[in-house]
Chain A
Amino acid sequence: MTKYAKRISEKDNVVTAVADCVAGDTVTVKYKKAKTQYTCNQDVPFGHKIATVDIPKGSVIIKYGETIGSAKKDIKKGDWVHIHNVKDDYKCLDKNGKPLPGQED
């Protein structure tokens, strides 16, 4: 049975698996009538993300066409993308762009 992953926006550099995948599995992405395939480098559970290109350390992760975080280490095409290799950069900012209190990390 074909295993699928979903792309939300053209700009995205990750797709989301909608089947439980194991290392070596090929996932198919249907997006705007085009079909693309990626090979999983690691196990990727349902709902988790797979890189569609190499993402060097410090570069941004894009989903929904927006930046959702940045790479903590070099991420290879086909890698499982989650909290082990992505940094959550979000802070709630005041009008001057400074973090509001209580967000030390």
Chain B
Amino acid sequence: MACEIIQTVFIISVITGFLALLLVIAEALFVNYGECRIKINGKKELVVQGGGSLLSTLNDNKIFLASACGGRGSCGFCKCTISSGAGPLLPTEKPFLSEKEISDGVRLSCQVKVKQDLSIKIPEEIFNIRKFRAEVAKITDLTYDIKELTLKLVEPGTISFKAGQYVQLESPAYEKSRQSVQRAYSISSNPYQDDMIQLIIRRVPEGICTTYVFDYLKEGDKINFTGPFGDFFIRETEADMLFIAGGSGKAPIKSMIEFLDKIGSRRRMVYLFGARSTKDLYYTELFREYEKKLTNFSYVPVLSQPSEECEWKGRCGYIPPFIPEFLRDPVNTEAYLCGSPGMIDAVKKALLELGVPDNKIYFDSFA
């Protein structure tokens, strides 16, 4: 009896598998969606061959939505609003979308197939996003687990970005990864150096992209990235600025400080950098130089666990208790935070309690 059941299940599985395979082959061979039109933001119109995913179709037309998983439906980054032609919402999209997003027509572009004319909405800044080819000009060890990459642009030769934005670096398939992946890293150089970018990358244990960068990538190699992305950038006001970062969160803040130096800003700026011990500190001399160059800038490293041997004479503990010391006028202060989600949560809570308005707290969380 058991044998018959197993046999029946096996036969049904084989038939189902065969039919599914037939469907895939038939779709590839015979289904022709023909030309479809994608209307973007009610203005621009693309005429494309139907059949591909919306994400890949847009990519083919040099419109790059953020994506960390290469279109496998597992990162949830490639959202866009589709007002017509998308078909029903798929179960693979639901976990990434809130109720409001679903009612607003937000979809994952990698899961939507272009089968008919579509009307979509994407932020205007997406049109500035390009795919870049670059040469690794320099790799510098900043700490035991953080490296700085200097990438000289090859094609296109220049980039336009705002200090604080990030790019998606692409690691190719290599010995330890069967596929190419993309990961987000903030640009640490300033926008005036438009023929290169610098990134600060911390090793992630078992991470596919950081293992590639740390163990395989060499100076002189070529690498691809897409960008710039993100809305973490300096607001053009005269408010005091409080920068708070930890670990590799220094990258966008470095870009911002360098930019403010280039434009000769006289805004009051304080930069609190949190680390565990002295071996986690880097760029200290660089920011000491900025203290001399910028009239209103202070750099304050804070260590949570300085070892006894290092005779650390700076501030010890976590950042939140030190914030009041540097907060002159909470209502007239903008806070720019970058670091681990735990740090962002703790610092944001402290800032709100001290009276910094919620809408003046900008952050780039590692999450």
Do they bind each other? no
Residues of B within 8 A of A (CB): none
